[in-house]
Amino acid sequence: MRTMIVIILALTLLAGAAYATDFSTYTTDELLGLRGTMWNATVEDRAALHTELTKRVPEMTTEQKKEFSSRPALAGRGMGRGRGMGRGMGYGTNCPYRAN
């Protein structure tokens, strides 16, 4: 009996994770505003947002297309933009691995 309850609970949780947010009810401007703000969203939600925006490209205005093709304003915070680890080993100009 206990095994059956665990199986049902596991299937319920897996089925809930399989559904992404339905972005078809959002306006194009709302969707463009969400870009770069979905740090805690699931992979499925991010993929659903991108898919919905890609579907709407033919109906977008020139300004919306420009915004869609550019990098989101809030994207790329922290690592990968010259901050955090990975900036070098601290040798400065005396780095033995640097070709002067």
Parse the chain into domains and list their residue ranges: 21-72
pLDDT tens digits, 68-81: 888 776 655 554 45
pLDDT tens digits, 26-68: 999 999 998 888 888 899 999 999 999 999 999 999 999 998 8
- pTM of the complete model: 0.55
Beta strand segments in 4-97, E: none
**C-alpha dihedral sign at 79, 82, 88, 89:** negative
Q: Which residue has the higher pLDDT, 1 or 49?
A: 49
Residues whose CB is less than 8 angstroms from the CB of residue 56 and which lie 6 or more positions away in sequence, other chains included: 28, 31
